[in-house]
Amino acid sequence: MKYNTVIFDLDGTLLNTLDDLRDSLNEILVQKGFPSQSYDEVKRYVGNGVRNLIRQSIPTSCSEDEVTLYLEEFKENYRNNMQNKTRPYNGIMELLLDLHRYNYKMAIVSNKYDTAVKSLAKTYFGTIIPVAIGETAQIKRKPAPDSVFTAVKELGSELKNTIFVGDSETDIMTAKNAGIPCIGVTWGFRCREVLRKTGADYLIDTPKELLTLI
């Protein structure tokens, strides 16, 4: 076995969260009199944290204080909405159960704020993925490698035994910055060409293909 530890991104990799993110965002935008965002627009903005999602979705004339206010409103909306339409991608649960059965160590590393990441991980994956790390003031968000280092340490593993699985440019750069290989998944929020150009070490089209690489 070449690797015994798998670090997963969350949104666009394990879970399709786009509808709940969009609904929570548009609720705020409509209340403020701003144009709502389409599915494709939200898909394009996701991956660099919720604050960036909001910043990209509102007029450039809005101040950073307003962004902070809308961020708090979004968190409240999303807390109530994040399990409405969110689902694991087809084949993900089967993959995770196989990895668990083969004694792989697994963690989630996300740029979504930490409380939401931990809540979603617990709800959908229970004890199968014991470590879930989101954005906090204490850990630099991706593409900084800090969250990967923290996850590997909490799992009691080593970087040389670790591979990263994600769906975005940010994930690929995170893996590169951590000095580990990255598997890009094509079912998420970015297309194959973007992942290839950014430098994913491998590309897979279905979750079960991961088992052939590790």
- Which are the contacts of 213, defined by CB distance < 8 A and separation ≥ 6? 163, 183, 202, 204
Contact 184, 166 (CB under 8 A): yes
Domains and CATH numbers, the chain: 5-16+86-212 (3.40.50.1000), 18-81 (1.10.150)
| CA atoms of 128 and 8, how far apart (whole Å) | 12
Instruction: Please name the helix (run of DSSP H) or strand (run of DSSP E) that holds residue 170, with its range, or none.
Output: helix 169-178
At 204, the amino acid letter reads: I
pLDDT per position as a tens digit, 94-145 = 999 999 999 999 999 999 999 999 999 999 999 999 999 999 989 999 999 9
| Summary count for the chain: helices (H), strands (E) | 9, 8
CB atoms under 10 Å from CB of 193, counted, come to 9
Active site residues: 9
Helix (H, G, I), strand (E, B) or coil at 109: strand
pLDDT per position as a tens digit, 164-178 = 999 999 999 999 999
| CA atoms of 48 and 46, how far apart (whole Å) | 6
pTM (predicted TM-score): 0.92
As given in the structure block, the two tokens for residue 139 are 């850990």
| Terminal-residue alpha carbon distance, the chain | 7
